């Protein structure tokens, strides 16, 4: 039998209360004035995932990002991600059309292409998305090389996704890849977090917010 430990600290134990109070504090403490109400829904989720009230200073939305992503998701578009942690973090019950989430990082072909091309598996895996990339929602939270590779595919005339969440984390290529996405003129709406911040949790939180249009 599992014995309950002696409670020694005063803390909230209700999951629903913690959830509600967390988002109340975010909306009270974060400056969301730069965002539309729909963008703020996404930003709040990302702040919650990052635990960073300063994050809004670094989040930038293409004006059409929210509408484009939600329209694609409602139509059943697949979601392509660069890391399995994003796949795990996406809440399936939020997806409006039982959308498929795909990560091909562990596909043997990704390793083979990476070796042949002299790049990362994350970048090579993007090429395996193929024609299904057209009209899809993309969330990149781990590898700057994946985001750069995606932009190169589109620039070469490849299939264009409906929306790109570009938030790769790190200190090598992260800031540069996100700036390249924001500076691109490829006709694809985007969301970025400028600088070194990012990560799988942040990318998954953005997808979850876009998948559900309910107010927090």
Active site residues: 48
Q: Which of 186, 188, 162, 192 is nearest to 174 (CA)?
A: 192
Ordered DSSP codes for 136-201: -EEEE-S-HHHHHHHHHHHHTT----SEEEE---SSSSHHHHHHHHHH--SS--EEEE-SS---HH
DSSP 72: H
Q: Given CA atoms 161, 171, 22, 201 in this order, what sign does their dihedral have?
A: positive
* Cβ contact 141:199 at 8 Å: yes
């Amino acid at each position: 039998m599992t014995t309950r430990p002696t409670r020694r600290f005063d803390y909230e134990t209700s999951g629903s209360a913690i959830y509600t109070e967390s988002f109340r504090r975010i909306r009270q403490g974060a400056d969301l004035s730069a965002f539309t109400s729909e963008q703020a829904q996404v930003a709040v989720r990302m702040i919650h995932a990052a635990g960073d009230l300063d994050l809004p200073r670094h989040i930038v939305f293409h004006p059409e990002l929210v509408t484009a992503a939600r329209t694609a998701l409602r139509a059943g578009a697949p979601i392509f991600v660069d890391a399995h942690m994003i796949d795990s973090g996406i809440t399936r019950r939020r997806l409006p059309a039982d959308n498929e989430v795909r990560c091909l990082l562990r596909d043997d072909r990704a390793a083979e292409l990476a070796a042949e091309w002299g790049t990362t598996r994350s970048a090579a895996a993007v090429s395996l998305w193929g024609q299904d990339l057209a009209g899809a929602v993309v969330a990149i939270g781990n590898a700057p090389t994946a985001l750069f590779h995606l932009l190169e595919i589109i620039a070469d005339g490849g299939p264009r996704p409906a929306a790109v969440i570009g938030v790769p984390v790190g200190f090598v290529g992260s800031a540069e890849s996100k700036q390249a996405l924001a500076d691109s003129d490829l006709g694809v709406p985007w969301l970025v977090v400028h600088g070194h911040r990012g990560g799988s949790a942040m990318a998954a939180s953005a997808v979850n917010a876009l998948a559900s249009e309910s107010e927090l």
